[in-house]
Chains A and B, each alone.
Chain A
């Protein structure tokens, strides 16, 4: 069965520190990969996506993600976190016409 795993339910980082959010997927072929962010009470906003080509993709708000086929991973990174990055982050994959989301990682940023 298809699955998307975000092993970290909650992460706390200091403002200015680096961030890495983990995402692993299980599919037979390379799916389309996405990272979304959700602020409290809001819908989801796309941070970045990977379809093919360069395995390091840049997104909005200074985020980047790296696709590693050998590890079936698509981890999200940011070199320096801002207080406004506090939110819920979701990894998602598209296979066929269906999207599958991970359970999310909640990010807290402390001053």
Chain B
């Protein structure tokens, strides 16, 4: 299993540009999520999904969109990039249920918005 994969690893955008961060998992996990990591602030949940066709907002959803058309994929879209979105983005997945909720994290995407 490849686990959780993210592309690209690095990206530089200009203010106002849009882009999609890709996330895929091959573990048949129901739950997938996107976080941003900023210095001194830990990880903050952007959006999450509990299954195909179901998404919901996390702690910091503004400026981001998601969709979940398949169990495997959970892309994150930046509609109009702003310097405040400069961050490291992590995708994670897990099984749901009492025995689960162990999140497996991807390697991250480092995004710089100039």
Within 8 A of A (CB), among B52-70: 56, 58-59
User: By the criterion CB–CB under 8 Å, are A97 and B56 in contact?
Assistant: yes
SS of A interface (majority): strand
User: By the criterion CB–CB under 8 Å, are B103 and A103 in contact?
Assistant: no
User: By the criterion CB–CB under 8 Å, are B107 and A42 in contact?
Assistant: yes
Residue of B nearest to A4 (CB): B42
Bound complex: CA A18 to CA B59 (Å): 35
User: Considering only CB atoms and an 8 Å cut-off, how many residues of chain A contact the other chain?
Assistant: 24
User: By the criterion CB–CB under 8 Å, are B41 and A97 in contact?
Assistant: no
Q: Give the interface segment out of B14-22, B43-51, B76-84.
A: B43-51
A90 on the B face (CB < 8 A): yes
> Which residues of B approach A to under 8 Å, CB–CB?
4, 31, 33, 35, 40-45, 48, 50, 56, 58-59, 90, 92, 98, 101-103, 105-108
> Which residues of A approach B to under 8 Å, CB–CB?
4, 6, 9, 32, 34, 42-46, 49, 51-52, 90, 92, 94, 97-104
Please provide the 6 A-B residue pairs with the shortest distance between their CB atoms, ordered closest to farther.
A43-B105, A101-B42, A101-B43, A103-B42, A44-B105, A43-B107
